[in-house]
Structure 1
Amino acid sequence: MSVAETALFNPGLFLSEADLPADCIPLPDLLILNQPIASFYVFSRLWNHTNYRICADGGANRLYDMFDGALEAQREAYLPDAIHGDLDSLRDDVRAYYAALGVEVSQDPDQYSTDFGKAMNKISSKHASTTSQRETLILGTLAGRVDQGLGLLHEMIREETRDPLLRLWLFSESSLSFILRSTHNVIRGTASSGLFTENVGLVPVFGPAVITTSGLEWDVMDWETQMGHQVSTSNHIVAEEVHVQANAPILFTVERAPLNAGATVRAWK
């Protein structure tokens, strides 16, 4: 993507109850990491908007365990296409359950890559001939161990750098995070969808950047941002479109509104 192009983002598409637009081809992939799944309702909406679903090693444990108790009858309706990784975290009972139902279980013993990287390689192999933009939704977390959270951000920028056609969306316990590249970025629909709060951060975790914004309560122009210096966290979205011009990749993170069974979410102003 050249700097002259505009990158469009519509974060609400994947959390909406409505079908994805007809031009969303190919459908996104879903990567489930070995971290607690905080909300079945968020999970199920992501699942319904994706075509290929893969668990990174112990992510299969998390998927299986989510259906303990009241949801147990639904477990068989949510079978992943594959479980992939070094398989050192996959429980025997979980492996046996999914394998018996035809789920592919494959092992990559490489100790120089993480289960995230292994799973992404498997996803990429499914799209070897794809020449259009593709999306991967990641169900994970930035909470817990700090080193693992930072490592996940590192792997996200690595994967997007390797494949300019790839866009990653990280759905954590309370936020949605994605990478804005060195271009004019337009984020649409966070207010009207009712799926997000106004709280947003633009964090230069990948290195120093200069940004210009519009649509935020505290907009900036040609603003130098760098970890250890000045960073736009705890900002507020005040417009239907947010524009961010950046000369280097930055992390855009927006807080999700609560999403529960039967809940009605309303747009804020």
Structure 2
Amino acid sequence: MIVSNPLEHGLPYAAITLNSQLPKYFDKVWKQANIRICVDGGANKIWDIQDHDKDHDILAPDAVVGDIKTIRPEIKHEFELAGTQFVDLKNQNFTDAEKAINLLSEMKCKNPILLLGAFDGRFDQTAAEIHSALSRPDLSIILADDSNFSNWIFPGRTKILTPQKVTTNVCGLLPLLKPVSLKTKGLRWNLNGQTLAMGKFISSSNEVAAKEVTIDTKVPIFWTLQAKKVIEIQKKAAKK
């Protein structure tokens, strides 16, 4: 499997805005997304950016998912006029991010998905976003905020393309599920069968040392790259 951040390569992607602090690069990423989904209260946040900063021209989401009652009435009205679809899902068995991801799956979205604001606020909410990405190994889901671009690496051999246009070379491999023996290539400190385990040994503050990183694993492992402080997003290379 080949994994790459679409922002590094100017490729099409879908964006999900969570009900959390939006990244500073949000407006560029939102405008260039092929599909735009908000999780309930996230609709208030993107409207507030547009409403209070006239230099921003934020596009309306294609859909808003979750508890629609949390959206302010005037915002719901404006987005309805813009053609936004509202999907009122109150199922407590799914996280808000899962609801949005499932909607994208129903829309036959095959592009990578960016979860914007995935690491903001309460840790249990961050854990919920990590869980949401783990639950869909069939999709390429990247958790993003101002400091991180992270995703699950699933069993098998994965090649990660790392041109470092929006990320630095600082990376980590976190065994969040259970101990895992890894083999890697392309890192400053490669692993050659060593076992990573929480509370014993993890690969944090590692560094990318090549244009691509190869990871061999039998257990899902969490991969994270540091985001550059100033991100200039490329124009996407293809339209939906």
TM-score band w.r.t. shorter chain = 0.7 to 0.9
The counterpart of 1:86, out of the listed 60, 64, 67, is 67
Q: Which residue in 2 is equivalent to 1:152? A: 129
How far off its partner does 1:64 sit?
Answer: 1.1
Q: Which SS does the other structure have where 1:74 is aligned?
A: coil
* Pair 1:200-2:171 in alignment: yes
* Pair 1:33-2:18 in alignment: yes
Q: Which residue in 2 is equivalent to 1:4? A: none
Mapped contact 2:146–2:229 kept (Cα < 8 A)? no
- Using the size of structure 2 for normalisation, the TM-score is 0.88
How far off its partner does 1:88 sit?
Answer: 4.0
Rounded Cα–Cα distance in structure 1 between residues aligned with 2:174 and 2:197: 8
Q: Classify 1:239/1:260 alpha carbon distance in 2 versus 1 (closer, same or farther; 3 Å).
A: closer
Q: Classify 1:202/1:43 alpha carbon distance in 2 versus 1 (closer, same or farther; 3 Å).
A: farther
The two structures, once aligned, show a CA RMSD in angstroms of: 2.2
Q: Classify 1:233/1:73 alpha carbon distance in 2 versus 1 (closer, same or farther; 3 Å).
A: closer
Rounded Cα–Cα distance in structure 1 between residues aligned with 2:54 and 2:151: 30
Q: Classify 1:143/1:188 alpha carbon distance in 2 versus 1 (closer, same or farther; 3 Å).
A: same
Rounded Cα–Cα distance in structure 2 between residues aligned with 1:65 and 1:15: 28
Q: Which SS does the other structure have where 1:106 is aligned?
A: strand
Q: Which residue in 2 is equivalent to 1:45? A: 29
How far off its partner does 1:143 sit?
Answer: 3.2
Rounded Cα–Cα distance in structure 1 between residues aligned with 2:231 and 2:97: 28
- Using the size of structure 1 for normalisation, the TM-score is 0.79
What amino acid does structure 1 have at the position aligned with 2:119?
L
Structure 1: gaps spanning 5 or more residues: 1-6, 21-26, 263-269
Higher RCO (C-alpha under 8 Å, 6+ residues apart):
2
Structure 2: gaps spanning 5 or more residues: 234-240
Q: Where do 1:1-269 residues align within 5 Å?
A: 7-11=1-5, 13-15=6-8, 19-20=10-11, 27-39=12-24, 41-45=25-29, 47-48=31-32, 50-71=33-54, 74-75=57-58, 78-127=59-108, 134-160=111-137, 164=138, 166-191=139-164, 193=165, 195-259=166-230
Deviations 1:11-34 (A, max 9, x none): 2x3255xx43xxxxxx43221111
Q: Classify 1:124/1:198 alpha carbon distance in 2 versus 1 (closer, same or farther; 3 Å).
A: same
Q: Which SS does the other structure have where 1:93 is aligned?
A: helix
